[in-house]
Structure 1
Amino acid sequence: RAPYNADSEPQTFEELEPISRSRSENYLTVGESIDPLDWQPNVTADSIYARVVRQVEDRNASIILLHDAGGNGREATVEALPRIISYFKKRGYNFTTVAGLMGKTMDAVMPPVPPSKDGWLVKLNFFFAEATYWGSHFLFSLFFVGIFLSVGRIVFMAVLAAIQKKREKSFSNAVDQPAVTVIVPGYNEEVNAVRTIQSLLQQDYLNLQVIFVDDGSRDNTFNVVNDFYRSTPNVQVLSKVNGGKASALNYGISHSGTDFLVCIDADTQLKSDAITELMKKFDSGNSIMQVGAVAGNVKVGNEINMITNWQSIEYITSQNFDRRAFDLLNCITVVPGAIGAFRKIAILEAGGFTTDTLAEDCDLTMRLHRKGYQVRNCTTAISYTEAPETMSQFLKQRFRWSFGIMQSFWKHRDALFNPRYKNFGMIALPNILIFQMMLPFLAPLADLVLILSLIAAGFGIIPPSLHQIILYYLVFTLVDVAGAAIAFSFENSGTIPGNGVQQHVKYSRLLWLLPQRFIYRQLMYYILFKSFNRALKGELQGWGALKRTGNVKRVAAV
């Protein structure tokens, strides 16, 4: 008989051709006309019996197909069989085998295979059959686990973000403005540095100092910045031997004389009220924990092509959305390098920015949690950063992020599931482990399972769980889009760089979400694999520098 996944009533050439080929090799094909589907889970003997009787009466059929299944084992089929035999015998039917129907012996119809000749082939066939069976089940299991975890996280984060949004305080304008020093580290930033400092000098925060630290740039960064701001009293331009971003930040901190610091990237422009908004968050209210750091709201300022548009969506739906949610639980893991405010004493107590990871901002944030400081989020402190504009630059940046976060996680692994560190140890670190280090390996498998299942269905091989795969994938996609829409709704405020006009984030951009998510999953798999490979080899990785274009549009005063 044809395999279970082939057509029992062949009609097309593709269905008839294998039968014709087998007949030419002296095989006979036996079909069935009664199939009670006794292989279905939780089937009962009564339902098997009723289906057989109904099909015989409806079709006048005579060949019954029973499987080596039926219920949880074979008990349902075994229990139904005597009733089926009794029913048909009472109606004058005779039961026979294929050999009996042909008037031949069993050995003539099914000659035994000589064990000495084809034994290895039988074993090989059995091995591949078992590997295919368990391999497909393993893939399906990973698919369902990945979908379940992804949907659960989206819902969990959306609920937290919504609660945090509702609880956000409406601060009045602060009367007291303590002195703040903005530290801007730069390496080969002659294209952006002057404009970045200019946006700082346009801040509505009056008590402000700026320190620009050139980290041994190979271009003309130091001379350009120094010549432009030589006569500006509240701008200090420093230069040092190249040592990386963390080293440059520490150098700037050592030259600062204020209790509060704001650290930004040299390719970043701030809205004119950004520092004012950041400083409001240092009021810890009734909390006994002092606020040690405040994360700002980073947006992409150079949405000029598909890659930068996709990053803009990611900043809104992933990074900023996650920080909003984790703000509620005081377990933000990254105060972004593009915009973050700190108490100087908190940085010093935590040991400053360290040079042993590529994610110095993530590592410092984790150490602040361990020191007992609050880390807050400020969605109204908006900065616009220059995102990578080419795929090679994007992969370079994301590898540095991924590898750096992996280093930071490993550095603080003793806090994982440690109740001493509260939500940082019980929620934030497990989130990194599961959703940033493990799940990205499973995510492409979900796409692979769906694609392979659809391809198999196209060839008439219908996986038993195909409808579940499609259903769960659609549920995941819909929940993902809904979560992204919620994130977009939270971002519907502020100005777009270049015109200062109050605009809303366009929901039509969600159309980019599906291709962005699909391709991002494959890219993150590659990046994570590369990071793990580099970590296992124990290789070091430098800070590096991205090619700057200066395409971040100037932020209008607001």
Structure 2
Amino acid sequence: MTTAPTRPARGRRRAPSRIERAAGRAAALQRPRVVLALLLLLALTCVMLLDGYLRAEVGGDQRVRTGASAGDVPDDVLNGGPILTFRGGEATTLSVPDKTIALTFDDGPDPTWTPQILEVLAEYDVPATFFVVGSMVSRYPGIVQDLVEQGNEVGVHTFTHVDLSYQSDARVTREITQTQLALAGAAGITTTLFRAPYSSETDAIDNYSWPVYQRLGEEGYTSVFVDTDSDDWKTPGVAKIVEWATPEDGEGASVLMHDAGGDRSQTVTALARYIEKMQAEGYTFTTVSGAMREAQAEEAEQAGASGAAVPPGASGTAMLQAAHRAATGTTLYEGKALVAAVAVAEWTVPALSAGLVVVGVAVMGRFGMMVVLARRHHRQRNRRRFSWGPPVTRPVTVIVPAYNEKECIANTLQSLARSTHPIEIIVVDDGSTDGTAQLARDTAADLGMLNVRVVRQENAGKPAALNNGVRNAAHDIVVMMDGDTVFEPDTVRQLVQPFADPGVGAVAGNAKVGNRDTVIGAWQHIEYVMGFNLDRRMYDLLRCMPTIPGAIGAFRREAVLGVGGMSEDTLAEDTDITIAMHRAGWRVVYQEHARAWTEAPGSLKQLWSQRYRWSYGTMQALWKHRKSLTDKGPSGRFGRVGMPLVVVFQIVTPVFAPLIDVFTAYSMIFIDFKAALLAWLAVLGVQLVCAAYAFRLDREKYRYLLMMPLQQLAYRQMMYLVLIHSCVTALTGGRLRWQKLKRTGEVGTPAGSAG
């Protein structure tokens, strides 16, 4: 064992390097980036919840009790007219004057039927009152604006079309207030008219609904019921709708029709015939406010009061002022904000749905391609006649970069001591402060390893440590491994055999998670076996391997030096040099039988740090080598095939994949619970099948797959946030130094086989 000369001891504190200064700036930006990632996920969740709420899929959309008594309701109300007010705090009903029709429409606005109904009303110069659902108003504000500008009236029909009779006071307030805000944002008005969903004539008021009308009456609302119901929602035919909407014996009536809630083509056709018929019989049409003014004028005349009566059928601004009020102040701005938020939701959720369909198809296609190519790769490389060429038996150099690896370095050297292939070992101590270098020397001495050299350097990062090792290597093949990794006895021999092919410049080994009995370890074990190794088999056959893992990889020394060594330009020096070797014309392959055992992070914080470095470093490497897209010839294969695959499947789809879970939850709550659950289970089943096949290829135990459903629910969400964090970092700039993960040294020297 020899020791390379060390640099002179530092007698004074040195100034921070450029990399360290950049690292400090990047570290200072991490917390805002994490917050931004969380806020983005929260915003998308809120958009989905808002969209579901607007579609009125949640919260009692039908009456939950029937046959309630009406003992608390005054007889005058039960037997009174369809217009209920609380003038002076006392319940009072008004009837529509004779030969007068207060035409009302419920459940709109609807983008298909409401405009057609407005066309009919405009053709006959007839006003109407539309009791609108707030969620529909916020989705189609332009229709409401047209409706009001045409001279029609609007009233509140709740925000989600819920039966208010059995709701809490807070829910009642919310339903009314939100509808008023929607009207303010859509047309700049509020209204004093109200019609409860599922209401009919006043004799249907019961002890559950009466307190709601009392409360709203005290707040200044006029509740509007019906005298004559067209029952157009039953689609009985045009003739029946006209017949059922006709009052008896010249009486006035509040007539109910619908402009939403289903196919309203019969209503549109019947409306024109109905207007013509009623006008021919001498009826005039007015709004609810117009009917109220006429009724009040008649009452005044009958009581001998003074004042002029409003002419029947009158309409216009003066009359509309009785129900409509201009929205001002915070109500107006909150209403506009609501409409804007709904517009975002209306665009985002469908776009997200379409995007997730594309992502889902792409992910399923990738799974299929991975399985097919992995099977082909396994059969090809495990054939008896398969050979890379003459066996590689010459010695190689194993480089072990180490920074504060006292917990693991002894296990690493012990595993290398059992190597069946001749090796020299270079431990590059990157400015460790925990005695790693001395421990490495002591371990080598204890084991009688004369082939170990310890090279010390000031802390400069992993790429610099690896380059130092390459410069000091005595052999033309170098194996690179992490200081927390252990090799099986046959690992090095298996790893270097592909170099029998003179076109091979680098070989990726099979990284295994050693501490897989923890939750995080089990998650990473599944990911390593299913994702990384299936991926590498696929990329190997496609000749566009994107990454030689830092835990286990082998290189031709001349190839490493030819591309400038390990670069410090990115956090993913392994991905960086792999792409560089592709572009230099070297072939990069995967050797599944060369296994290395590494220690997974022991906490979520450590896992976040690791994956952040990986994902951000990958983005940096892809951006650095973006010109590979235009490379020509064999060296351009990575740009033509590998670059698009990595961008799509390691950056784009992972960002959207976790949203599938969020969208599944949305579908379960707002759309169809059973169908959404079955779809999610089907996707999980496909993933389990792929994972099981990957485990079979690697001869792993299937029991770890029991953790996969939880991994899909929790692990993917964390990876989503990590990727968002990385994307934000990429946009804002900044770098991080070689981050040291806390190790326990629990991954010992492995047995000769996986398992």
TM-score band by shorter chain is: 0.7 to 0.9
1:245-284 pair list within 5 angstroms:
245-284=462-501
Query: Could you say what secondary structure the match of 2:616 adopts?
Result: helix
2-structure distance, mates of 1:33, 1:553:
81
Which of 229, 233, 237 is matched with 1:53 structurally? 237
SS of 2:499's partner is coil
Q: Is the 8 A contact 2:485 2:599 kept in 1?
A: yes
2:430 pairs, out of 199, 215, 228, with 215
- Cα distance 1:542–1:12, how it changes in 2: closer, same or farther (>3 A)? same
Mark the CA change 1:124 to 1:390 in structure 2 (over 3 Å): closer, same or farther: closer
Inter-CA distance 134–33: structure 2 relative to 1 (3 Å threshold): farther
Please tell me whether the aligned partners of residues 140 and 449 of structure 1 are also in contact (alpha carbons under 8 angstroms): no
- Could you say which residue in structure 1 is the equivalent of 2:642? 428
Alignment of 1:489-528 (within 5 A): 489-492=693-696, 504-506=700-702, 508-528=703-723
> Contact conserved, 2:505 with 2:588, CA < 8 A, in 1?
yes
Give the Cα–Cα distance (whole angstroms) in 2 for the partners of residues 218 and 155 of structure 1.
49
Deviations along 1:369-414, one digit per CA (max 9) or x if unpaired, are 1111111112222211011101222122222222222221221122
Unaligned runs of 5+ in 2: 1-130, 137-158, 176-195, 197-211, 246-254, 296-312
Query: Is the CA contact (8 Å cut-off) linking 1:321 and 1:487 kept in structure 2?
Result: no
Q: 1:225 corresponds to which letter in structure 2? A: A
Which one-letter code corresponds to 1:194 in the other structure? A
* SS of equivalent residue, structure 1 residue 511: helix
- Kept after mapping to 1: 8 A contact 2:544/2:637: yes
Equivalent-residue separation in structure 2 for 1:493 and 1:538 (angstroms): 41
Q: Secondary structure at the match of 2:615?
A: helix
Aligned-residue offset at 1:536: 4.2
Corresponding residue of 2:734: 539
Q: Find the structure with the greater CA-based Rg.
A: 2
What do the CA deviations read for 1:350-383 (whole angstroms, capped 9, x no partner)?
2111122221111000101111111111222221
Structure 2 Cα separation of the partners of residues 490 and 442 of structure 1: 24
Task: Give the secondary-structure state (helix, strand or coil) at the position aligned to 2:600.
Answer: coil
Deviations 1:448-498 (A, max 9, x none): 45545655x4xxxxxxxx35x98578646633542343133223256xxxx
TM-score, normalised relative to structure 1:
0.79
Q: Kindly indicate whether the alpha-carbon contact (under 8 Å) linking 1:298 and 1:315 is maintained by their aligned counterparts in 2.
A: yes
1:498 matched residue in structure 2? none
**Distance between the aligned counterparts of 1:436 and 1:176, measured in 2?**
34
Partner of residue 305, structure 2: none
Q: Which residue of 2 aligns with 1:224?
A: 439
Task: Check conservation: 2:404, 2:432, Cα contact below 8 A.
Answer: yes
Partner of 2:622: 409
The letter for the 2-side match of 1:111 is A
Could you tell me which residue of structure 1 aligns to residue 257 of structure 2?
Answer: 64
1:179 lines up with 2:374 in the alignment: no
Change (3 A) 1:253 1:137: same
Question: Paired residue for 2:348, among 138, 142, 157?
Answer: 138
Secondary structure at the counterpart of residue 420 of structure 2: coil
Q: Against the structure 1 CA distance between its residues 478 and 553, is the aligned structure 2 distance closer, same or farther, given a 3 Å change threshold?
A: farther
Partner of 1:314: 527
Q: Secondary structure at the match of 1:183?
A: strand
Q: Is the 8 A contact 1:181 1:262 kept in 2?
A: yes
Paired letter, 1:219: D
| Cα 1:431/1:153, change in 2 over 3 Å | same
- The offset of 1:35, in angstroms, is 6.3
Structure 2 counterparts to residues 318-467 of structure 1, below 5 A: 318-416=531-629, 422-443=636-657, 445-451=659-665, 457=670, 466-467=671-672
Q: 1:435 to 1:170 in 2, by over 3 A?
A: closer
Deviates more, 1:509-518 or 1:363-372: 509-518
Contact in 1 for aligned 2:404/2:433 (Cα 8 Å) = yes
* 546-555 or 233-242, which deviates more: 233-242
**Identity over aligned residues, as a percent?**
31
Counterpart of 1:166?
376
Higher mean C-alpha deviation, range 521-530 or range 379-388: 521-530
Taking structure 1 as reference, are residues 379 and 27 closer, same or farther at Cα in structure 2, changes over 3 Å only? farther
* Counterparts of 1:95 and 1:376, CA distance in 2: 86
Residues 172-181 or 118-127, more deviating: 118-127
Q: Tell whether the 8 Å contact from 1:485 to 1:510 is kept in structure 2 after alignment.
A: no
Q: CA deviation at 1:95?
A: 11
SS in 2 for 1:554: coil
Cα deviation, residue 441, structure 1: 4.5
Contact 1:142 1:442 in 2 (8 A): no
| RMSD (Å), alpha carbons | 3.9
Match for 1:13 among 167, 171, 179? 167
- C-alpha displacement of 1:298: 1.0
Matched, 1:81 2:268: yes
